[in-house]
Amino acid sequence: MIIGYAIAIGTKEPHARYAACFLSITGASNAGPMVLAWGTGNAAPDTVKAVTSALIPSIGALGSIIAVWTYVPTDAPDYHNGNSLNLATSILSGILVLALFTYIRWENAKRERGERNHRLEGKDARAIEELGYLHPEFRYQA
């Protein structure tokens, strides 16, 4: 996706821009479902998973609203503003995924070392069951 938008911004050559469309769409088509699966897979208990499964597509749908205001006819045929915004948000998304991946690995390591076991102290069976992602035995999917 990043490569596609970078090509679209960086060249006026129509064949390269046409190829950039395929790269951008290929990256964008896969990103949404992968982020949704990753987010819901790391959400617990069921109520958090339900909110997550609604929140992630809602955030993604904001892109269609923003596109109305960034892909304007006066910017044709290059649509520099819209492509630049998509490039920036694609880069930001990549950085956020890397940051979350790093955090997940760090948090799972703390749980492996037993540094989250204090969350079980003084709780009855029902309270322990309701901990969800806070339970020391819960492991995030990286």
The mean pLDDT of 126-141, rounded to a whole number, is: 95
Task: Mark 83-116 as b/e (b = at least 16 C-beta within 10 Å).
Answer: bebbbeebeeeeeeeeebeeebeebeeebeeeeb
Percent of the chain with pLDDT over 90: 93
> What is the reported pLDDT for 67?
85
User: What mean pLDDT, rounded, does the chain reach?
Assistant: 95
> What is the reported pLDDT for 68?
87
The mean pLDDT of 50-66, rounded to a whole number, is: 93
- Given a cut of 90, whether residue 64 has pLDDT beyond it is no
- Range of lowest pLDDT (26-30, 43-47, 63-67, 130-134): 63-67
